[in-house]
Structure 1
Amino acid sequence: MTQPHDNPAESRFELALHGEIAFAAYALQGDTITFTHTIVPPALEGQGVASRLIGYALGEARARGLKVRPECSFVAAYIERHPETQDLLG
């Protein structure tokens, strides 16, 4: 199964499946990563792709010592549903 990855050249975390790419765009400033929007192609909707992608992205933020600003409504909802990630908010 394909793993999510960071694509720093595009400022987004990506997950490629079945020829489609889901991504979570971000802006990095100092020690804060701001997630601006998450896009999942229609062919990948309803398969947990966005949750898998955001779970990975937040894990990377934690590993890098970054604080998270969730401007994206999906990222904000994910953090709300996963209390173990709420300490990342900054």
Structure 2
Amino acid sequence: MSEGAIDIRLESGESKGRYVYQAPEGEAEMTFTKVGASRLIIDHTGVPDVFRGQGIGLKLVQRAVEDARVAGKIIIPLCPFAAAQFRRHPEWADVLGQQGGKPQ
């Protein structure tokens, strides 16, 4: 994989969705649940070992952040990986929601 942009596809249903990166070697995904019209809960990020160390997981979260900004939505990162990425990227605070009434 080159350092350039990668193709991440959004699959979105009525109440759930996922961001997907596909390559001949496999598929990485980040799943989410929709809460009302303005919130997404990131609940799982799965990156096969073949993609580890290539930043694929980060790019999945980045895509969700970009899409949330455009749509005026808030993200609640319940997935430990996504939550860690939000802690590492304070510039994403504008789309960060709360879990259980406490700031992330």
Tell whether the structures are fold-level matches, with TM greater than 0.5: yes
Q: Percent identity?
A: 30
Whole-angstrom CA distance in 1 between matches of 2:24 and 2:85: 24
Unpaired runs of 5+ residues, structure 1, are none
Which segments of structure 1 move beyond 6 Å, counting only runs of 4 or more?
Answer: none
| Paired positions, count | 90
Provide the secondary structure at the position in 1 that maps to 2:32. strand
Contact 2:20 2:27 in 1 (8 A): yes
The alpha-carbon deviation at position 12 of structure 1 amounts to 0.4
**In structure 1, what is the Cα distance between the partners aligned to 2:43 and 2:70?**
20
Deviation for aligned residue 1:59: 0.7
1:21 maps to which of 27, 41, 54: 27
Partner residue in 1 for 2:8:
4
Q: Which amino acid aligns with 2:18?
A: R
- Give the superposition deviation at 1:29: 1.4
In the alignment, which residue of structure 1 is the partner of 2:51? 44
- 1:47, CA displacement in angstroms? 1.0
Is the CA contact 1:80–1:86 (under 8 Å) kept in the aligned structure 2? no
- Checking the alignment, whether the CA contact within 8 Å between 1:2 and 1:16 is kept in structure 2 is no
> Shift in Å at residue 18 of structure 1?
2.9
Counterpart residue number, 1:60: 67
Secondary structure of the structure 1 residue equivalent to 2:76: strand
Give the drift of 1:88. 0.9
TM-superposed CA distance for 1:77, in Å, is 0.8
**2: CA distance, partners of 1:65 / 1:26:** 16
| Stretches of structure 2 lacking an aligned partner (at least 5 in a row) | 98-104
Q: Give the structure-1-normalised TM-score.
A: 0.90
Whether 2:90 is the aligned partner of 1:86: answer: no
1:5 offset after TM fit, Å?
A: 1.8
